[in-house]
Structure 1
Amino acid sequence: MRKWGPLVAVCLGVFMLLTDVSIVIVALPDIGAGLDLGFDGLQWVLDGYALALAALLLGLGALADRVGRRRVYTVGLVVFALASLVCGLAPDGATLVGARIVQAGGGAAMFATAMALLNLAYRGRDRAVAFGVWGSVSGAAAAVGPVAGGLLTEYLGWRSVFLVNLPLAVAAVVLARRTLPESRDPAARRLDLPGAAAFTVAAGAAVLGLIRGGTDGWTSASVLGAGAAAVVALAVFVLVERRSPHPLLEPALLRRPAFAGVLLCGAVYSAAAFSGLPYTSLWLQSVLGLGPMATGLALLPMSVVAFAVPALAGRRLAALPVAVPLAGGLTVIGLGTLLQGLLDGSSGWAALLPGLALTGLGIGAVSPVLASAAMAAVPPERGGMAGGALNTFRQLGQALGIAVLGLVLHRGLGEALAGGPAAGPDPDAAARALAAGRPPAGLPGEVLRPAFATALDHTLFTAGLAALAGAVLVAVLLRRRPERAGSPHDQPPADVVAPGPDRHRTAVR
């Protein structure tokens, strides 16, 4: 246990924080009904968390290099636990969304330090095993979330999906303090606060514009203002990063085709594989009438296959050139998502199973390889920056994916209901209520089922086509990389401070 204690401590925290990206998916209808949240509010319950993760990862990684990686990791665990408590007790939607953002701040502290802690704790084959397990846990967490959320919501209520984090966080803190070595970089770069602020504004404004565009209209002042803010903030971020002596993300790294390909893969992978699940969950519950547990079980094939592939074929995946599992996995995800989007008014939950299983196959191919591919694509001294950038792009991809696919679903529902006798005088309002998991009174099943099925088909087709397009681009960017998928730079760990009674002594090289 002592040998693999650091791996367990890191994987427990990362599993918890990534599960919370998706564990609320099955609970969304209950959350909406309990807190009177509309479609926009439910999107922010998901996107507030994913956005905060994406915005804070790089900055907290730089902070950890200066003050200690284990310290930042354990503080992140404590913040995550306290924010989870507030989420579980939230009296209204605004409190829940705010607590989710704080919760993601704690999660970002854990996520930003996870790869560095593993990189320092293990060498050689043990390091390859650790990264493989970490990648598998990261991928499986997002798939397991809906199942766990369904079980908790069904029997203990939606608040339990947050309160369950408390005992897990306590266990992770104890294990981290006992097994993780403290480490810091004596030559750590200064914090790039202007770059972090610009990136946060750009990402938040882009998602806000996408979410509000479906309800306020694309020419409304709020949407145009959000779009302008996103463009300006992104331009400021690029300028700051080019001129900063200590950038969050060195622009030169993005000029490396292999690294750009890995980042693109991370973003598209998260968007295509996971961003459609909230809307599939709404269809299963609001249209088909499944309960939270049955909905989680209906999504289980994706989880099972995503777990099984790395366990059965992890070594073979690691022996392949990185383009094969990454571009190939995206292709499989795209085909699986397209297969899910073949629903009609008579479809039941079983119609999703083949597509979910195929999507899980693609997840299982991509998830164990991403981390090592990012580390292998940059110089050894930029491994921490590469890991932080990859995690940032994964969460940003999911945040943007939720917003874009929500827009597609809302528009599809509005078009399907427009002119229908049961939609009433305001089909857009009926579409918003239906998308929020609260079908309007008087909407008959013969109108409801085909309308939602058609809109969900459009949503899943959008995700599937994005995955296939991303696969082509990733294959092109990675075509000249001969490295194996499981061959991160095996640099010796530096600046380690031993755990235990002597953990406060000065770091050594």
Structure 2
Amino acid sequence: MRIWGPLAALCLGTFMLLIDVTIVLVALPSMSASLGSSLSQLQWVADGYALAVAAALLGAGMVADRHGRRRVYTVGLVVFAVASVACALSPGMEWLIAARLVQGVGAAAMFTTTLSLISTLYSGRRLGLAFGVWAAVASSASALGPVLGGLLTQALDWRWIFYVNIPVTLLALAMTFRFVPRSTPDRTAARRLDVPGVALCALGAGGLVYALTASHAGGWISAGTLVPLGMALVAFAAFVAVQRRSTHPLLDLSLFRRPAFTAAMITIALGEGTVYGILPYTSLWLQSVQQLSPIGAGLVVLPHAVAAGLVAVLCGRWMPKPSPRLGAGLGLLLAGLGTGLEGFLGPGSGWPVLVGGLALSGVGMGLVFQVAASLALGSVPAGRAGMASGAYSTCEQLGYAVGVAVFGSLAVSAMSCSLDGEAADPEATARTLSGGGADTLLAAVPAGERASFEHTLHAVFATGHNTLALTAGALSVAGAALVLWLTRRPKAAEPVPGPAPEPVRAPH
């Protein structure tokens, strides 16, 4: 247990915090019926958590380097558990969204320390295997979230997707204190937290996601979209300026001069944003159009989880030092092709059409999770492990948050165009439909016209989903090409021809 105990404790926390990213997806319709919500609020239930994780990760990584990684990990577990109780007791959507933000802060403290702890506790082939097991847990957690969420929502209530975190947290705390050794704080780290850096990073990330989420309601040229978008761009520019001048930066920007590190950040951000960014809308299609139960919708995604987990474990077992070209590039390529295969739905299509694409994208994401994490930490000095782990996790969660927001706006736009001439207010109808309100729309139509309008809604949702899947697939494939270019091997310099050397003559 001295070998596997620490890994089990860390993977348990990772599984819990990552499963909470997607566990809410199949519960969104039940939350909407219970609390009443708009599409924007549903997006924030999914996005607010990931956004809080992304915004707090770099700051949590710096705190962990200064005060000890195990200590920060355990504090994160406690905050996560308390916020989970607050989520479960939510009387309204505003409370739920606020509690999800706090939950994300606790998850950030856990997430930013996990990879750095693994990298210090293991070495050699054991490190490769440990990363493989961690990647299998991470990839399968994201995909198993809808399955577990469906089981709890259908058997009990949507609130139990948060209550279930309590016993898991207690077990993770007990195992951490038992098996994970105390980590030595870095005395050379900055004496105080980079508050300007943390604030600017959070403002930039929050403004960007808020603008993208608001765009589907007010349009891209509305003040509600342009103002937060402008604030986000200014905040990110100021963040870069502050980090370049800081003696102890929150994020050492020189790390991005390392092609492997940059490739790892692009790989995880694009993989999360494309594959899992469209998953909320896939779940809504399965439940609101296909009329599957929450557990049925979750089981449709199970092939993705199984494929991702198996590939990650095998990759860690046989490739302790993965090639960025074969791992990251191939992973993004397969993820993109699989996601693109999900973009061929028709009005009469059923859920089996999705299974092949979901399985293929699972194979790709299994590679992505295992290889990107190894590259991120293996391409930087040991003293920067906490920073690299925080940067990796920030890109992962911000990629997911931006993906959900962007594809939400694209879904409304695509469905609105398809409804032109079919509904009195195409945009309002598209917002309701993309939020899982197909039954609400049908109930407002006279009984004699429902069959025809239902066929229209099925066709419109299929068109919208196809647009999302094909766009996501194309972005992932383009990202694969970029990663392959970044990790190309430089050609050896050819010798410059010059005059032939004079023969050496023996002295007289």
Which residue in 2 is equivalent to 1:501?
A: none
For the 8 Å contact 1:405–1:462, the answer to whether it is kept is: no
CA distance in 1, matches of 2:146, 2:466: 20
Which residue in 2 is equivalent to 1:488?
A: none
Per-residue CA distance 1:208-227 (angstroms, 9 max, x = gap): 11111111122221111111
Which residue in 2 is equivalent to 1:180?
A: 180
For the 8 Å contact 1:70–1:182, the answer to whether it is kept is: yes
Q: Shift of residue 400 of structure 1?
A: 0.5
CA distance in 1, matches of 2:407, 2:472: 7
Per-residue CA distance 1:408-460 (angstroms, 9 max, x = gap): 1111111111211xx2x212111111111112122532111101000100011
Superposed, which structure 2 residues align to 1:277-356 within 5 Å? 277-318=279-320, 320-356=322-358
SS at match of 1:182: coil
- Go from structure 1 to structure 2 and tell me whether the alpha carbon gap of 1:85 and 1:72 turns closer, same or farther (over 3 Å shift): same
TM-score (norm 2): 0.92
> Which amino acid in 1 is paired with 2:188?
A
Q: Shift of residue 185 of structure 1?
A: 1.3
Q: Shift of residue 86 of structure 1?
A: 0.7
CA distance in 2, matches of 1:308, 1:54: 27
CA distance in 1, matches of 2:105, 2:315: 34
Q: Structure 1: 5+ residue runs without aligned partners? A: 483-509
> Which amino acid in 1 is paired with 2:426?
P
Which residue in 2 is equivalent to 1:505?
A: none
Q: Shift of residue 348 of structure 1?
A: 0.3
> Which amino acid in 2 is paired with 1:462?
T
CA distance in 2, matches of 1:125, 1:250: 29
> Which amino acid in 1 is paired with 2:153?
T
Quick one: which of 439, 442, 456 aligns to 1:447?
456
Which residue in 1 is equivalent to 2:486?
A: 477
Per-residue CA distance 1:122-148 (angstroms, 9 max, x = gap): 233322222221122112211111111
CA distance in 2, matches of 1:106, 1:149: 20
For the 8 Å contact 1:318–1:369, the answer to whether it is kept is: no
Q: Shift of residue 236 of structure 1?
A: 0.6
For the 8 Å contact 1:54–1:391, the answer to whether it is kept is: yes
CA distance in 1, matches of 2:302, 2:120: 35
Which residue in 2 is equivalent to 1:261?
A: 263
For the 8 Å contact 1:321–1:481, the answer to whether it is kept is: no
Per-residue CA distance 1:344-363 (angstroms, 9 max, x = gap): 10100001011111111101
Quick one: which of 466, 487, 492 aligns to 1:457?
466
Q: Shift of residue 376 of structure 1?
A: 1.9
What RMSD, in angstroms, separates the aligned Cα atoms of the two structures?
1.5
Which residue in 2 is equivalent to 1:506?
A: none
CA distance in 2, matches of 1:397, 1:326: 16
Which residue in 1 is equivalent to 2:107?
A: 107
Moved more, 41-50 or 213-222: 213-222
For the 8 Å contact 1:317–1:365, the answer to whether it is kept is: no
- Go from structure 1 to structure 2 and tell me whether the alpha carbon gap of 1:182 and 1:312 turns closer, same or farther (over 3 Å shift): closer
- Go from structure 1 to structure 2 and tell me whether the alpha carbon gap of 1:256 and 1:123 turns closer, same or farther (over 3 Å shift): closer
Which residue in 2 is equivalent to 1:97?
A: 97
CA distance in 2, matches of 1:239, 1:292: 47
User: Number of paired residues?
Assistant: 479
Q: Identity rate of aligned residues, in percent? A: 49
- Go from structure 1 to structure 2 and tell me whether the alpha carbon gap of 1:250 and 1:320 turns closer, same or farther (over 3 Å shift): closer
TM-score (norm 1): 0.92
Q: Do structure 1's residue 47 and structure 2's residue 56 form an aligned pair?
A: no
Superposed, which structure 2 residues align to 1:6-45 within 5 Å? 6-45=6-45
Which residue in 2 is equivalent to 1:57?
A: 57
Q: Shift of residue 319 of structure 1?
A: 5.2
Moved more, 229-238 or 185-194: 185-194
Which 4+ residue blocks in structure 1 deviate beyond 4 angstroms? none
Which structure has the bigger radius of gyration?
A: 2
For the 8 Å contact 1:25–1:278, the answer to whether it is kept is: yes
> Which amino acid in 1 is paired with 2:429?
A
Which residue in 1 is equivalent to 2:476?
A: 467
CA distance in 2, matches of 1:116, 1:317: 20
> Which amino acid in 2 is paired with 1:176?
T
For the 8 Å contact 1:195–1:248, the answer to whether it is kept is: yes
